């Protein structure tokens, strides 16, 4: 676990160990979101990487929106 400070411009520096572990490059984009009261960063994934991500999921009938049909 690493600790960082927020600058007066609300910037933070990603620690070197974390940058190396995630193989981050200068200028690389990250997705920032809030989840469960914490700030999360993640690398964007391409459409090819997402292929098959929902394979094997069991959908319930109530998960579908039956009101919007094309």
Rounded CA gap, 28 and 26, in Å?
Answer: 6
CA distances from 43 to 4, 51, 57 (A): 20, 16, 24
Domain boundaries, the chain: 1-70
Q: H-type helices in 1-70, by residue range?
A: 16-22, 47-50
pLDDT tens for residues 27-51?
A: 999 999 999 999 999 988 888 877 8
pTM above 0.75, yes or no: no
* High-pLDDT (> 90) share of the chain, %: 56
Residue range 1-70, CATH number: 2.10.260.10
């Amino acid at each position: 676990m690493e600790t960082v400070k927020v600058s007066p411009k609300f910037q933070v520096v990603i620690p070197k160990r974390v940058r190396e572990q995630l193989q981050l490059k200068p200028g690389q984009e990250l997705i920032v979101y809030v989840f469960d009261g914490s700030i999360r960063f993640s690398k964007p994934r391409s459409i090819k990487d997402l292929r098959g991500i929902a394979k094997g999921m069991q959908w319930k009938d109530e998960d579908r929106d039956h009101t919007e049909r094309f």
